[in-house]
A and B are shown apart, each in its own frame.
Chain A
């Protein structure tokens, strides 16, 4: 069964300077992902980047992943 730590590891390995905060109950996962690779990209392109990194590692479980993607600038702004 896929764990939050698995997903965090896969995403951080696949995206440059990436920070992932994730939690989940084994059925649904909520991830907040920050990476400079998102800068200037549309939301869809950002999410497709993450789906690309995950490839078919998650297979059916991909359906259970909800994500919020932010560039470092957006993340910093959200912190203020």
Chain B
């Protein structure tokens, strides 16, 4: 299976998945740390993928979403954005609303 197919499977088999540097307990970059905190403040369950563990994932996900940076958030298979967009959506309540709608 190609890396793009593997990524598609990960993205589509998790309601919420964050591709980040490090893991939620030990984020390895400020932006990944902020993204993790935002999801934790939304009190949502989420899967995380440490892109530092595998360079083909690190590069492959950028191609998958046509987005050059990490972290990257996906909800129900849809690319939501990076840290900036997550912060903006969190501040205006859009992100929590979207996540809460998953639980119902």
Contact = CB atoms under 8 A, between A and B. Distances in A.
A77 B102 CA distance: 32
Contacts of A47: 67, 81-82, 84-85
> Interface size for chain B: under 10, 10 to 19, 20 to 34, or 35 or more residues?
10 to 19
A66 interface: yes
A11 to B, nearest CB: 15
A68 B92 CA distance: 14
Contacts of B23: none
B68 interface: yes
Contact of B84 (A48, A62, A67): A67
A10 interface: no
A77 to B, nearest CB: 14
A43 B66 CA distance: 14
Given A51-B67, A51-B68, A68 B84 contact: yes
Contacts of A68: 84, 88
11 contacts: A44-B81, A47-B67, A47-B84, A48-B66, A51-B67, A51-B68, A63-B31, A66-B83, A66-B84, A68-B84, A68-B88
Minimum-distance CB pairs A-B, first 7: A43-B85, A63-B69, A66-B84, A62-B68, A44-B81, A51-B68, A67-B84
